[in-house]
Structures are given as C-alpha cells and as structure tokens.
Amino acid sequence: MFNKILIANRGEIACRVIKTARRMGIGTVAIYSDADANALHVRMADEAVHVGGSASTDSYLRIDRVLAAIQQTGAEAVHPGYGFLSENAEFAKALEKAGVAFIGPGIKAITSMGDKIASKLLAAEAGVNTIPGYTDVIEDADHAVKIAKEIGYPVMLKASAGGGGKGMRVVWSDAECREGFNSTRAEARSSFGDDRIFAEKFVEEPRHIEIQVLADKHGNVIYLGERECSIQRRHQKVIEEAPSPFLDEKTRRAMGEQAVALARAVDYASAGTVEFIVDAKRNFYFLEMNTRLQVEHPVTELVTGQDLVEHMIRVANDEPLSLTQDDIKLSGWAIEARVYAEDPFRNFLPSIGRLVHYRPPRQTASVRVDSGIEEGSEVSMFYDPMIAKLITYGENREQAVERMCDALDAYYIRGVNHNISFLNALIAHPRFREGRLTTNFIAEEYPDGFHAADVPQADPLVPVAIAAVTHRIHAARASEISGQTRRFELTDRDDWVVIANGEHYAVNVQTVAHGFEVRHGDNVYRVTTDWTLGNPVVETEINGDSIVVQIDRRGAAFRLYHRGAVIDTLVLSPTAADLTRHMIERPPPDLSKFLLSPMPGLLVRLSVAEGDEVKAGEELAAVEAMKMENSLRAAENVKVAKILVTEGDSLEVDQPILEFE
C-alpha cells in the first residue's frame, strides 16, 4: 500500500479523502493557495505545500506546481477529488511520466469520456441506449434546422466540450433553432474554446438518474446501484438520493449492466459514474460518464456500506476488487442536500465572508456532514460556495426525509447567507415527498424565484409556543435579580402575548412536571426541553414530537428559524402588546436613487461616468464573486449623479455603487 498520497484539491472533498487515508494508515499531503493558508484540509493533513495565489488558475490548476509538491514530499499517489484536475488527461499523463499513481481511471477513459460527441458514439457501440440525435458536428444554423426537423422538436443543442450546464439550449421551432444554434456556439467558443455543437432529442418529464460503477485493473467491473439527482437548479444538482424512488428492479439492473458495459469499453479502473436521462415510462438514455468521484457519492456509501475512496485507493495500488456484483445489496435510504453560501431570497446570489458561528447537526449513524470548514473559516470569492454536504440515512425514504428536515433545522450558520431555508422547503414540498421528481421540479414549483411565502409551516403555533417558553425562561431568571426597584419588579407571569410576524397570539404558559404547558385558545402544547439561556438551538419535544428550532435574541425580540421559515417574535405582557397596536411604523429609507451591490464581491467594471445619461437596459457596472459575473443594468432611463466606489473595490452586499439624479 502507498505510504503517502497527495490530495490535489481543497475543501470538503480534501477532508473526506484525508479521513479515509488516515483510517488506512496512509500519510497525506495537502496543497493550498494563498486564500486557503488556514483552511481545515491544510491542518488535517500530515503535510501541506503552498502552490500559489488565491485564484485556482494560479494554484490548484497549475500542474507544474502540483508536480513540484509531489516531488518535494515524496508522495507516491495523487487523489484529485472532483473538479480542478480530476478529469484532466494532461495531468494524468504527467503523473504517469513522473511514476506517480493517479487515484482515478486511465487516460483512455478520461479522454474518450471527456468529449460528449465521442462518448456518445462509444456508448452506442457498447450497446448503451443513447438519445436519438445527430452526433456529428453541425455546420451552421440551416444545417441545425434540417437536423432538428429530422429528430423532431423539442431538440437540445449542446456544446461537445460543454459541462456544468453551459452550452445548452432547448429549441421548440425553426426560429428558436436558428437563434439557439448561434448563441450556443458563441457560448461554447467563449467558455470552452471549442465551438462544436451537436443535437439530440429533448426528453420531456426527464429524470436525472446515475449509476455508480467500480472497476479494477484486472477486468472486474460492478455497479453499486443508482442515485436520483433530478432536483437541480440551472443544471446544478441540489438534492440527491439513493436509491431512486422511481426505478424498479428490472430497470435498475438494465441501467447497471449498460453502465458496466460502457466501463469495460473504455478499460475503466476506479470509481466512476454513468449518468442517464430517464423518461416517464422508464426509458433511459446515456447522458455522459464522469470519470471521477462524484460530489454525491456519500448517499451510495450509506446504502451499500462501502467506502468508495478506499476502493479507489486500492484499485490505484493494483489490487483486485474485494467485491463481486452479488455482494452489493442496497439497504435503507439516503438523501444528500448541498449547503451553499448563497442567498435564495436574492436569486441565489453567492455570499462571502467569515462564518462567525458554525455548528452543524450532531453526526450519528444516520446524520453525516462532509465539510471543509469550521467556525471562523472564510468563505472566499475565489471558489465554489459550498459550505457542506448534509447526508441523512433512514430505514426507508420517509425516515430519511424526516431526519433531513430535523438536521437542517439544527444546522446553525451565521456570518454568511445560506440556502438552508430553500433546502428545507424542497424537502418538505408535497411533490418531493411523493417522489414526483423531474429535472424541471424547481423551475416549475418556483417559477418566479424563491420567497419567504414559499416556506409552508405545518403548524404556525409551534414556533409561537417555543417563543413563549424561551421568553418564560428568560423572565424567570430576570425576576431573580436582586436590588430591583419596588413596584417595578420584573415578574415571572403566566399570561403573555406572542407577536409573531405581526400576528398577536394570547398564550398562557404554565410550569409543569418535566417542562411547560402552553395554551392558546383550545390548543395545548406540552413542551419538554433542557434548553439553557444563550444556546442558539432549542431542542424540544412538543406533544410527543421532536422539534428543533434555532433562536437568535435581537434586543427584546426573538428571531426563530424552523422548517425553513424565519419568524420574528416579540413576547410582551397583554398591556404592552395592546400598546404596540398604536406604535407608528418607521418606513425604510428610500434607496431608489442608488445602485446597490446585490452581493459581496469585486467591482470588475464601471461602465458609466458621472453625468452620463443611461438608457434602460444598459450596463451600469459588473460585480464578480465565486467565478460568477453579475452585470448590473439600468431599470429605467437615468442620469448618473455620483460614483461612490472605484473599479477594483471589494463591495459588501447592498453597498451603494452609484447615485442617480
């Protein structure tokens, strides 16, 4: 076995590989950029080598610097994780030349599966179902229309070198086809330096289901079941699960056998994933093969009991697989949610900054958190905004879903915006619970974006009861303060009014054995909790059900977070609550004369000067964060009165950039 491996990656996947290597008794080497000098993966590894500047192009993507780190440390093998150099054939060749093992497949598999046109042709030769289409390069817009008519609309135009949702257009008519071809080719040229376009039939009501394969260098290939990855936003996966709630055993076996056939055709030797698109009648078609470890691999690990990273390391060390197909049994259900530093209420704009408070849910046999950060870590503008992957396991899908809801409720993050409210809303959605999934799920259910009103509460009185109990605990302590002014003592009363998001709820809170009893009208809530003052997570049992709520003290008020909803509460005496009805509301300041930065990031472009008259739709400025550039355009005809920042400045969210007359 290898004595030392280098992980050519960062963040949660680097930490994930280090954990398995440590369990196997293998030494580890981390590499890091300027931005990651104090990162968790650097401290977890036995050794760490600096490889360059914060931008990935100056560090993690520099093959020469990674090779120098290998030589410096004497690492015998390299695990590339995913992203960065994981599917880079030149990197694999360089390692081979240096006599260093690549913990991944051979160069033939990487190159043949890295080209969408070539991979589709190879898949067809291997007997894998492929989507009807035209796999040669389309010459021009007229040629595209001719092909689309032969295939039959709707048709998907795709860049051959595409990935990550870029270079793709669905067209439904000749006119859309002409326009779509030109725009897709332009995007492919600018994004990938390769403007080759092909076409295929667009599958309606599609599901994205993938098969995990595992192969060694001795001709053994097996599949480890499937993963349902249909919950996507802009072609990026959000929630994954294993097994799929849609497949039957016959379809699972057929997909698995075809995935194995494709792996054999390219002499595959490692863990890999064959992705399929599946229609409403369980017809499945080859999409692509990812020649690396997938982000969502933990769900497969939980339902099979296998460590995929360990198998990858052993295969790279020329060991035969220790498993046969008969050894693979799917047991229980696993769901993964990707926790990102982004604001779902602002069109998912990325959020950067320091994790002032970070407390993931307790890890157990049924709750797993794969993360590369900790409290105090910085979410940088230079890399993917993933904070962690949260994975839950259950004996069945319903139990895995419930555990995911509870774990999301307990996931305490402050300092950056995050998508936990959105994830909770998805998991709680009736359509998700029923398993009626397609890749269009999010677009169909949230066509106008995600809003606070999209987070349903099964019982809105639950957070009211918890607010009342936590306030009662605060009031009980306050009443014990010595030296209080006579006639103005703080009292530990029973009758309160909870004002929750503007609604008044009169409640009576009684201390009973092992907890509290909260009454509102005919509703009675028996609340048992060992919560202590200052703890931001309230774990309770209410009428026999386990409930987890996050709570922030905001002056005299509480802000509660439960099942994705944010509930602002104020608990007052009945007299004080009645007086609040007469309070004058202070209107927010008028910011309509300012252009505000929608996200924290770098001001990469100022497109106007003071005194310029700008037409509606014209660009005013551009802000970049996490590899995403956001062009800010005028909503109406305006005149620029004052420029408040300088090109190259780092901006905070809602920081004024321009002032209009």
Q: Other C-beta atoms within 10 Å of 452: how many?
A: 13
Host H or E run for residue 436: none
For residue 459, give the 3-state DSSP assignment: coil
Burial degree of 148 (CB within 10 A; 0-12, 13-18, 19+): buried
Cβ atoms of 535 and 602 within 8 Å: the answer is no
Angle between helices 63-73 and 89-98 (to 10 degrees): 30
- For residue 228, which of 40, 380, 432, 404 has the smallest C-alpha distance? 432
The CB-side HSE value for 276 (13 A sphere, CA atoms) comes to 29
Strands 557-562 and 619-625, bridge-based pairing: unpaired
Strands 378-379 and 353-354, bridge-based pairing: antiparallel
- For residue 338, which of 415, 390, 407 has the smallest C-alpha distance? 390
List Cα–Cα distances, 174 to 53, 93, 184, 185, 316, in angstroms.
47, 44, 15, 17, 49
Cα distance between residue 603 and residue 650, in whole Å: 6
For residue 576, give the 3-state DSSP assignment: helix
Please enumerate in sequence order all residues whose Cβ is within 8 A of that of 107, keeping only pairs 6 or more positions apart, or say none.
Answer: 89, 92, 93, 96
**DSSP per position, 618-638:** -EEEEEEETTEEEEEE-SS-E
**DSSP per position, 18-33:** HHHHHHTT-EEEEEEE
Measured in degrees and rounded to the nearest 5, phi and psi for residue 76 equal -95, -15
List Cα–Cα distances, 39 to 10, 373, 607, 627, in angstroms.
8, 7, 36, 20
Query: One of 12, 76, 288, 296 is an active-site residue; which one?
Result: 288
- For residue 521, which of 498, 548, 490, 488 has the smallest C-alpha distance? 498
Strands 47-52 and 27-33, bridge-based pairing: parallel
Residue type (1 letter), 500 = A
Cα distance between residue 262 and residue 519, in whole Å: 63
Cα distance between residue 517 and residue 373, in whole Å: 40
Cβ atoms of 274 and 289 within 8 Å: the answer is yes
**Active site includes 288?**
yes
- For residue 551, which of 534, 529, 536 has the smallest C-alpha distance? 536
List Cα–Cα distances, 150 to 48, 314, 436, in angstroms.
56, 48, 31
For residue 467, give the 3-state DSSP assignment: helix
Quote the tokens at residue 225: 């079941």
Q: Other C-beta atoms within 10 Å of 337: how many?
A: 26
Q: So which residues are the catalytic ones?
A: 288
